[in-house]
Structure 1
Amino acid sequence: MCPSPALGFTLPPPLRLAWTLRDDIRANLRQAGLTGENDFAVWWLCCGHEAFPAAASVEIDREGLLHEVVDRGVTPDSPPLTRLMDFVWRFRASETARFDRGSAAGRAAFTAWFFTSAVPEMALWRLLSPEQRSWLHEATTPPLAPVGLPLPRLARLCWAARHDLQKAFNPDTPDGALALLAWYVLHGTAEMQHTGEMAWRPPLPLDTPVPELGGLSRRAVLAWTTDDEARTRLDPARPEHHAAIRALVRPDAPEDSGPTRRKQAAVVCPVQGGPPRQAFGVNIIGYARGELGIGEDSRMFAQSLAAAGVPFAVVNVPAGAAVRQADGWLDACLVSERPYPVSVFCLTGLDTARLWLEHGDALFAGRRNIGYWPWELPTWPAGLADAYGLVDELWLSSTYTRDAFAASSPVPTFLAPMAVSVDRLTPVPRSRFGLPDDRFLFLYVFDWNSYPARKNPMAAIDAFRRAFPTGREPVGLVLKTMNARPEDPRWQLLQSAAAADRRVAVLAETLDRGEALGLFAACDAYVSPHRAEGFGRTLAEAMLLGRPVIATAHSGNADFLTPDTGFPVAYRLVPIAPGDYPFGEGLLWAEPCLESLTENMRLAATQPALARRRAQAGRDFIAARHDPRIVGTAYLRRLQELAGLTPERATIAPIRTS
């Protein structure tokens, strides 16, 4: 392993965010034996422009990080091995495995491959030290007759890296060195992409007529020396042959003098820049078309603003290839600018940071930025503290989430309950889903992408079978999920458990919003044995539809699920197991009591009067606290405070609720 960087080396904030967010990159680096933050910093310099184009220009002490010598060279063609070279050796292991690191010959072979292939392919020229650049362009021979040019080291390294060149040329002889020089000038620079800043600048011009060569250019003479047929029929000393000799130079042969262009992911900013065009209003930034829970957050936020008369526009953020993005409810509101002075990010804090890393300040500059961030754990990770710097304040949808952020947030935190609406419901019969009409059906809806360990669907099956053990009870359990992967062993285990009881149905599909709500209405009760919820939207929707809800009495839903409004399930706090949830190490979440879950499911099914009473109380509570008009009015008040407006001075009048 290469030595650690000098003491005091720390990742700048953008790199700290990227390091924390991208466990996939850290996993790839670990496979190559690259485990430290310093290795990640080298990766950033080499490859970060592809993953995080907008933040790739962050300055790092390259001299101390990249150019430290980790292995001294022993031959002229094997210079010292730097940290950058060591990183590439391990990072590109599938290509460098053929080089024997323990031998001088192996290190020399790697050096040749690194400078001639890896540097242009990975656009590393700017990361080389001045000494390395000079070394690559220095002469390895005296001037070669008749052109008077030396053989540059880059050409010699190409020969060392390629067996075909070794068979064709012997650079240790004058004729062989001249032939190799001719190949490099005429063909090699293009083949090896040694162009732009990396291109060899000969000490004498290649394309200017040279009197000593009878007025031919050096490039033309090099082309003649490598063409056996031309050498037999054309004589550079005869002027009448000069036109034919010049014709040997291919039109694309002259050196490309343009700048080296790094391979770079397209930087597509989703919005135009500029100051706000309006004095009051909100830019909603989120998964407006995404068919997932956090996408519904954006849509409900928009509905609440509309109910309160607050002007808004919506910037849609693509939710990724794994998520269906066909909800067009807000399509008429989508824009490619931020016309209002306040932007609200209806995204997780992680995704807000990722958005900044990918698009830079274009979505943040010149606005008051509010993070409407969901979060399912009791604290915000210390490694993501830099994300706080992207927002001016936080709106949190539950007491649980507010407390999680308030413990560490340097920006103000506000409790801002979200709106809940079922207005888009499309009534559907149970037969649409292949469900029986003569059974009391429990429903649990969850997204597999939201981590099955957190959603805990196996507990629903276990409690259901305990509550109704004979198999003859007129009940059923419906597990509605989406985004499950067939190869996931946890999914296979769930399917096996469900298949063991014919009363358990698993629906694995993405439904339109109206049809999804129709499924809620088609069932009799809702169950959620979750271990943590930031808000608990599906629970609140079921309550608003007048369904009794049985759920873990922990986290976000504790704000609205009580013994009066539903069937809270007892729990105990347990450590989050490694790998169960991002950033969960060392934290606690709920383990619902199976006996309590079982008893509450039994009560909901067998005591209809009790279930109806609590369901009605739950419906009334959600309707009063989470109605879009009530929620929108609370938004309006805070937005007026931010704008320095009293209700009398506001461009719109607040909605009075009392």
Structure 2
Amino acid sequence: LCLAACRPRRRCSARRHFGIDGGWGMMPVRVRVVVAVVLLAAWAVGAAAPPTVIWMAPFWSGGGYCSEAIDFVLAMQDAGLDVAIRHHGDSVDRGFVAGLDASTRSRLKAMENRFYSLPSTSSAIVVCHSEPGAWAPALYHTSECPPRSGAAVTIGRTMFETDRLPDGWPPRLDRMDRIWVPTDHMKGIMAPLVSKTIVEVVPEPVDTDWFRPDGPRMARPGPCASASSVFLSIFKWEPRKAWDILVEAYAKEFAGDGDSVCLMILTHGYHSTTNDYAGEIGRVLREKHGLSPPETLVVLPEGLPNEQMPSLYRAADVFVLPSRGEGWGRPHVEAMACGIPIIATNWSGPTAFMTEANGYPLRYDGMDTIDGGAFQGHRWARPSVDHLRTLMRLVHNDVHGRKAKGRQARLDVVRYYAKDVLGNLLRQRISQYAESTDRPEL
């Protein structure tokens, strides 16, 4: 507040507002102090409540953006923010909605009702949380974000997994006041390509009360029942996840280990032409590597309910996913919250949270150029099969070491990514934005 000490050559608008500018210097010091305290109190009352946050995202769709958005809005509401939501950016998955726990579904429905009760969006802070093709003017049919009625501040939340942005993204990013990305890696790619907007790093929150080490463990499938080391991998069925690298490394490294080690895979389709994942894994191993698929490589049934995910993580000893690129790495952080160390490619998203102390960074052998598809010409990492074999063997042999890394993983996630931590961060950000747009110059 500049009542007591205005900057040189700057007139104090608060003085002018209260009609005291001309006689301020003539007032006794004690009188000035009293006036300053009164004005400060009046200013604080008017600035106490942050504005409503309207968060538009694929809340009812399932998938990465959906899960991330749900944790964001719950964290903000827990931090005392007024949050309204609207579905945006993808189609509704009725099965996913039915699988949500009752408490989460009820809270989301209440926030959705809050949106439809708002008289206007013009004074709200609006977050468009999706790929930018859904932002107004959208390239396909979806709810309009930002709303046509306007907003005090517009924020785009998005991410990508290669070494560059898709064509057409930069102009859309520049229509927002701010862009939130999950990592410094993503900011480094995006910031040089926009000229009008501010790019800020906002990590993903994780519910560390839900994903925690203690609690029931899912029964391991038959081939894994007696294993002393159980690896778990969770991913969308697409080339970016490098499942081919994973199964090659596992089959080659543990061909002679019998049932002492096991790999559980939970996957789901993503614009794929097959849901016979075990059959496709077997075909790749036989045709490309001359290997038979190990009996201890188990593909779990698709569609595991969300409420069972913590027990699945706790059934494993290590989470492994040698992705070619990640925007963040949500299953990685959920596993870490459950006290499970991770093996992940040391490039893109996981570099934000994975260290030698809490996991096993996987080397990559340079970058590959994507050949074909929507992202032809982009580049992503080439995970090292040999190093993945080495790390998986190390994990299998060093039970004490992997448990120590798992404990550190839990500590790191609670410290940096718990919902209360991110909720408080977002409350601070929202308050700062409100100050910059709503408050008079003081």
Aligned residue runs from structure 1 range 183-582, under 5 A: 280-317=51-88, 319-320=90-91, 324-326=95-97, 327=100, 329=105, 330-335=108-113, 336-337=115-116, 341-352=124-135, 355=138, 358=141, 359-360=143-144, 363-367=147-151, 368-410=153-195, 411-424=197-210, 429-431=217-219, 436-439=224-227, 440-448=229-237, 452-483=238-269, 487-488=273-274, 491=277, 492-496=279-283, 500-579=293-372, 582=374
CA distance in 1, matches of 2:221, 2:272: 20
TM-score where L is the length of structure 2:
0.75
The structural deviation recorded for 1:322 is: 7.2
Residues 374, 397 of structure 1: 8 Å contact kept: yes
Aligned residue runs from structure 1 range 589-608, under 5 A: 589-608=380-399
- Deviation by residue 1:215-239 (Cα, 9 ceiling, x = unmatched): xxxxxxxxxxxxxxxxxxxxxxxxx
Residues 223, 295 of structure 2: 8 Å contact kept: no
Of 378, 384, 402, the residue aligned with 1:587 is 378
- 4+ long deviations beyond 6 Å: none
Q: Which residue of 2 aligns with 1:128?
A: none
The structural deviation recorded for 1:435 is: 6.0
Matched letter for residue 297 of structure 1: E
Matched letter for residue 235 of structure 2: F
- Deviation by residue 1:110-150 (Cα, 9 ceiling, x = unmatched): xxxxxxxxxxxxxxxxxxxxxxxxxxxxxxxxxxxxxxxxx
Matched letter for residue 241 of structure 2: K
SS at match of 1:363: coil
SS at match of 1:546: coil
Residues 182, 204 of structure 2: 8 Å contact kept: yes
- Deviation by residue 1:252-284 (Cα, 9 ceiling, x = unmatched): xxxxxxxxxxxxxxxxxxxxxxxxxx9612111
The structural deviation recorded for 1:473 is: 4.8
The structural deviation recorded for 1:351 is: 3.2
- Deviation by residue 1:150-192 (Cα, 9 ceiling, x = unmatched): xxxxxxxxxxxxxxxxxxxxxxxxxxxxxxxxxxxxxxxxxxx
SS at match of 2:300: strand
CA distance in 2, matches of 1:546, 1:489: 31
Residues 269, 275 of structure 2: 8 Å contact kept: no
TM-score where L is the length of structure 1:
0.52
Residues 425, 515 of structure 1: 8 Å contact kept: no
Residues 154, 178 of structure 2: 8 Å contact kept: yes
The structural deviation recorded for 1:434 is: 5.4
Matched letter for residue 299 of structure 1: I
Note closer, same or farther for the CA distance 1:362–1:468 as it changes in structure 2 (3 Å cut).
Answer: closer
Note closer, same or farther for the CA distance 1:587–1:441 as it changes in structure 2 (3 Å cut).
Answer: same
Matched letter for residue 111 of structure 2: C
CA distance in 2, matches of 1:401, 1:490: 34
CA distance in 1, matches of 2:414, 2:211: 16
Matched letter for residue 633 of structure 1: N
Note closer, same or farther for the CA distance 1:323–1:641 as it changes in structure 2 (3 Å cut).
Answer: same
Residues 291, 323 of structure 1: 8 Å contact kept: no
Matched letter for residue 420 of structure 2: R
CA distance in 1, matches of 2:155, 2:402: 39
Structure label with greater radius of gyration: 1
Note closer, same or farther for the CA distance 1:528–1:435 as it changes in structure 2 (3 Å cut).
Answer: same
The structure whose RCO (Cα within 8 Å, separation 6+) is larger is 2
The structural deviation recorded for 1:645 is: 7.3
The structural deviation recorded for 1:447 is: 1.7
SS at match of 1:644: helix
Matched letter for residue 150 of structure 2: G
The structural deviation recorded for 1:437 is: 2.6
Matched letter for residue 173 of structure 2: Y
**Range with greater deviation from structure 2 (412-421 or 364-373):** 364-373
The structural deviation recorded for 1:303 is: 2.3
The structural deviation recorded for 1:324 is: 4.3
- Deviation by residue 1:454-498 (Cα, 9 ceiling, x = unmatched): 101121111112322204251100110112678449955225458
The structural deviation recorded for 1:404 is: 1.8
Residues 445, 479 of structure 1: 8 Å contact kept: yes
SS at match of 2:365: strand
The structural deviation recorded for 1:290 is: 2.2
The structural deviation recorded for 1:305 is: 0.6
Residues 324, 510 of structure 1: 8 Å contact kept: no
Residues 56, 145 of structure 2: 8 Å contact kept: no
SS at match of 1:407: helix
Q: Which residue of 1 aligns with 2:35?
A: none
CA distance in 1, matches of 2:436, 2:89: 34
SS at match of 2:135: helix
- Deviation by residue 1:571-592 (Cα, 9 ceiling, x = unmatched): 0232332236x32x22221111
Residues 375, 401 of structure 1: 8 Å contact kept: yes
Note closer, same or farther for the CA distance 1:370–1:364 as it changes in structure 2 (3 Å cut).
Answer: farther
CA distance in 2, matches of 1:542, 1:489: 25
What are the ranges of 5 or more consecutive residues in structure 1 without an aligned counterpart?
Answer: 1-277, 650-658
Note closer, same or farther for the CA distance 1:600–1:634 as it changes in structure 2 (3 Å cut).
Answer: same
The structural deviation recorded for 1:641 is: 1.2
Note closer, same or farther for the CA distance 1:301–1:620 as it changes in structure 2 (3 Å cut).
Answer: same
CA distance in 2, matches of 1:480, 1:564: 26
Residues 211, 337 of structure 2: 8 Å contact kept: no
Note closer, same or farther for the CA distance 1:594–1:357 as it changes in structure 2 (3 Å cut).
Answer: closer
Note closer, same or farther for the CA distance 1:425–1:432 as it changes in structure 2 (3 Å cut).
Answer: farther
What are the ranges of 5 or more consecutive residues in structure 2 without an aligned counterpart?
Answer: 1-48, 286-291
CA distance in 2, matches of 1:591, 1:529: 9
CA distance in 1, matches of 2:92, 2:424: 36
Q: Which residue of 2 aligns with 1:156?
A: none
The structural deviation recorded for 1:431 is: 3.4
CA distance in 2, matches of 1:433, 1:355: 45
SS at match of 1:598: helix
